[in-house]
Structures are given as structure tokens and as C-alpha cells.
Structure 1
Amino acid sequence: MTKILVLGAHGKIARLATTMLEKDPANQLTLFLRNAQRLADQASDQVTVVEGDAGQLADLKQAMAGIDIVYANLAGSNIEDEARNVVAAMDATGVKRLIWISTLGIYDEVPGKYGEWNHQQLDGGYLETYAAAAKVIESSDVDYTVIRPAWLTNHDEIDYETTQKGEAFKGTEVSRKSIADLVTKLAADPTWSVHASLGVNKPNTDGDKPAWY
């Protein structure tokens, strides 16, 4: 049995990943979000829904008791503080494995016109805070995988490739369902891509910006 804590469980990717993770009866899920009523109908023998704030260390420590894997799908201007709390709670509870959703561009790894466009869209607070949060994760002693998605679509498809930290980012877009699939695969094999930061894109979507933008 693998006990997985989903932080930010009401997010679109998190809900897709929860559905995929539920397909393995060996997974026991704890869904953590600010307003538990939003996912109250998800509770079952396999799924526990808890209310909590990732900005509060005590909430995270309570939720992590007995957990094997933390999957963090957090967002917001305080994500650096949330990252510090997640690491502190994991250290306090002895949880080692973390799957952390970030964004593309945190290492200035997006090349060409697309990289310039991405900076124009995300600079001024968003990209900087996500980069700072990823630095907190990568400087910690947890067994992390950082996921850096391209611009997200709601396409009903699983079609993606990955790049490593230090490599130029590929493509311009990727489906949320693809990111959820990657999360599910990482949870199924907790030894895969430890201490890695994965850029994720749909193949053959290179361009100056996402085609749909």
C-alpha cells in the first residue's frame, strides 16, 4: 500500500491525477485543500479529504503523518513559503518522496522567441516566486522531482516528452492530462527521477508562443 498526500487537491491537474491514482487499489490518497467541502464527494475507502492550508506548518505536519509520497500542486504568491513549510513538515514527519509542480522558465531554460514571450508573460512576480520555491526544494534533503510543464491545455490527450535541468526546453504546450500521467508514473515508481527537474512538453509544438494563444 502506498499512501499519497495530494496538496492543492482541488487544482485541475491534481484532480486528473487523483482519478488516475485511484485506478491502482494499492494507493491510499489523502486530498488536502483549503475548503474540504469542494471535494467532499470524493471521500471513500480509498480517499480521505482533509482541510488545511499549506501556509500553515502545523496543518502540513498533521496531514503527513504516515504518508509515503507527497504530491504538491500548489500555487500562489506565497509558494516559496509553502515550499519551506512542505520541506519542514516532511523533515519533521520523516517523509522523503516529493513530486513538486513548478513551471517552465525557472532556470531561464526556454530558448529563442518563445523564451522571450514567456518572460513577458510571467515576469513580475510569478516566475520569480516559482523559481525561488524550486530552489528551496532543490536545496533540501528530500527525494524530490520538480515538474516544469509548458503552457497548459485541457486537451483530452496524453502526449509528452521531457527534458532535464540544464537542457533547453522543448515545445510550447502540453495537456494537463499529460502532467497528471507523469505524476502517476512517478508515484508508481518512487525511485524514478529522484533529484531531477523535468521539463514537460507535447512533441512538435515548437514555436514563438503556444499555437492557441
Structure 2
Amino acid sequence: MANVLILGANGKIAHLAEKQLLAETNHHLTLFLRNASRLTVSDPSRETVVEGDATDQPTLVSALKGIDIVYANLGNKEIENQAKTVVAALDQAGIKRLIWISSLGVYDEVPGAFGKWNHKMLDGGYLETYAAAAKVIESSDLDYTIIRPAWLSNKDIVSYETTQKGEPFKGTEVSRKSIADFIVKLINDPSQEIRHSVGVNQPNTDGAKPSFY
């Protein structure tokens, strides 16, 4: 049994990972989010809710007491500052294992027509901030795994393959359910993908853009 802190616990992928963790494991979950009233706890015996901002280091450090693994499901214009605060808080608390959700394209690793489309859609503030945040995580001494999902769908399917940093990104899309499943696998075996940045896509979805565009 592990004690897992989920940052950004009201996100769609976080909800899916929470549901799977409750169903398949006996881990205890601490759910961290800015507005606790937005969240309904499924299992009060295994879940603790903490209200706070991921750029507030003292609140983060307090939430990290007794935690084994941190899964950060953060994402907005403050992502670089969030990354800096999360790294500093984990260092202060003496916790090493971090699972960090990023974005495809942060290394300009998406090839071909899809890569051009991805730039067109995400340049101008999004890719730049996510790339800066990934650099913060990679420059730390944490046992991180950065996850770079393809474009996300709500399909009820678990089907994915991975690529590593330095390899061309594959595919165009992936289900949120697949990303949640990958996160749960990493939580259940934290020795996997240490200090790796992993692209995740649904197989056989190559093309110029995702099927839902």
C-alpha cells in the first residue's frame, strides 16, 4: 500500500486514475485541488481532500507528510511556476517519486504534417510554458516520469504505446482512460520509467491530425 498525493485532483484524467486506484489497489489517496467543494469523495476511508494552490509551497509541504508518490495533474499558464514549487516542496519533504503530466510537442518531437498542425494549435503560449515546466522537472534530482500524451479523447478504451524522449512521437490521439491506466501502472510499480519522458499514444492513429478534428 502506498500513500499517493494527486495534485490537480479535479482534472478529468485524475478522476479516472482515482477511480481505477480505488477499484484495483489499496493505496490511500490525498486529493489536492484549489476548490475542495468541487470534489466528491468516493471512499472517505481511503481518501483525504486538501484544498490548496500548487504554487503555495508551505501548503504543499504540509500535504506531503507521509506521502510516497506524487502524481501531478496540473495545467494552466502557471505550469512553470507550479513545477518549480512542486520540485522545491518535494525536495523539502524528502520525497523523490513524481509522475508529471506534460504535453506532446515540448521537444519538437512530433514529425510530419501532424507536427506542423500541432505547432499551429499549441504555439503561442501553451507549448512554450509546458516545455519550460518539463525542463524544470528534468533539471531536478527527483525520480520523475514525465508523461506526454497525444491529443486526448474521452473514448472508453485502454489502448496505448509509448515512445521515449529523443524518439519521434507516434500517433495523433489517445484516450484519457489510457493515460490514467499508465499512471496507475507507474504508481503500482514506481521503479518503472525513472527519469524518463514518455510519449503515449493509441496505436494506429497516425495522420495529419486527430480523428476528432
Common fold by TM > 0.5: yes
Deviation at 1:42, TM superposition (A): 3.2
The CA RMSD measured in Å over matched residues stands at 0.9
1:110-129 map, 5 Å: 110-129=110-129
* CA distance in 2: counterparts of 1:7 and 1:71, whole angstroms: 6
Whether the aligned pair in 1 keeps the contact of 2:79 and 2:133 (CA below 8 Å) is: yes
Aligned to 1:26: 26
Alignment correspondent of 2:177: 177
Aligned identity (percent) is 64
Is residue 152–residue 175 contact of structure 2 (8 Å, CA) maintained in 1? yes
Partner residue, 2:188: 188
Give the superposition deviation at 1:41. 3.4
The letter for the 2-side match of 1:99 is I
One-letter identity of the residue aligned with 1:81: N
The DSSP-based 3-state class of the residue aligned with 1:17 is helix
CA shift, 1:25, in A, is: 4.3
State the partner residue of 1:161: 161
Correspondence for 1:6: 6
- Preserved CA contact (<8 Å) 1:43 1:49: no
Q: 4+ residue runs of structure 1 moved beyond 6 angstroms?
A: none
Mean Cα deviation higher: 16-25 or 180-189:
16-25
Q: Does the Cα contact within 8 Å between 1:60 and 1:86 map onto a contact in 2?
A: yes
Moved more, 127-136 or 50-59: 50-59
* Aligned-partner SS, 1:5: strand
Deviations 1:95-143 (A, max 9, x none): 1100000000000000000000000000000000000000000000000
Aligned length: 213
Write out aligned runs for 1:141-156 (5 A): 141-156=141-156
Question: Is 1:85 the equivalent of 2:88?
Answer: no
Quote the offset at 1:22 in angstroms.
Answer: 1.1
Q: Which amino acid counterpart does residue 7 of structure 1 have in structure 2?
A: L
Q: Give the whole-Å Cα distance in 2 for the aligned partners of 1:40 and 1:12.
A: 14
Mean CA deviation greater in 37-46 or 56-65 = 37-46
Q: TM-score, normalised by structure 1?
A: 0.98
Determine the C-alpha separation between the residues in 1 that align with 2:43 and 2:92.
27
Per-residue deviation at 1:37? 1.1
Q: Indicate if the aligned counterparts of 2:109 and 2:168 stay in contact, CA closer than 8 A.
A: yes
Sort the Cα spacing of 1:202 and 1:25 in 2 relative to 1 into closer, same or farther, 3 A.
closer
Q: Is the 8 A contact 2:41 2:47 kept in 1?
A: no
Do 1:42 and 1:49's aligned partners in 2 also have CA atoms closer than 8 Å? no
Give the Cα–Cα distance (whole angstroms) in 1 for the partners of residues 181 and 42 of structure 2: 19
Q: Deviations over 1:34-53 (max 9, x none)?
A: 01111143351101111010
